Amino acid sequence: MSVRVAVIYYSATGNVHQLAKAVAEGAAARDAEVRLRRVHELAPDTAIDANPAWRAHVDSTKDEVPEATLEDLEWATAYAFGTPTRFGNVTSQLKQFIDLTGGLWQAGVFHNKPATSFTSAMNRHGGQESTILSMNNVLYHWGCVIVPPGYTDPLLFAAGGNPYGTSWASGGGETPDAATLEAARYQGRHLADIAERLRMS
Ligand X SMILES: Cc1cc2nc3c(=O)[nH]c(=O)nc-3n(C[C@H](O)[C@H](O)[C@H](O)COP(=O)(O)O)c2cc1C
Does 116 sit near ligand X (CB under 6 A)?
no
Element (H, E) at 185: helix 178-200
- Nearest approach, Cβ of 147 to ligand X (angstroms)? 21
Name the phi and psi angles at 188, rounded to 5: -65, -40
Cα(117)–Cα(149) distance, integer angstroms: 10
- Please identify which residue in 3, 4, 6, 13 interacts with ligand X, judged by CB under 6 A: 13
Cα(143)–Cα(156) distance, integer angstroms: 27
Cα(60)–Cα(168) distance, integer angstroms: 21
Of residues 189, 187, 197, 199, the one with CA closest to residue 150? 187
- Per-residue binding letters, 73-92, with ligand X (x by CB under 6 A): -----------xxxxx----
- Nearest approach, Cβ of 192 to ligand X (angstroms)? 23
- Per-residue binding letters, 118-147, with ligand X (x by CB under 6 A): --xxxx--xx--------------------
Q: For residues 87 and 140, which CB has a smaller minimum distance to ligand X in the complex?
A: 87
Contact set with ligand X (CB under 6 A): 11-17, 84-88, 120-123, 126-127, 170
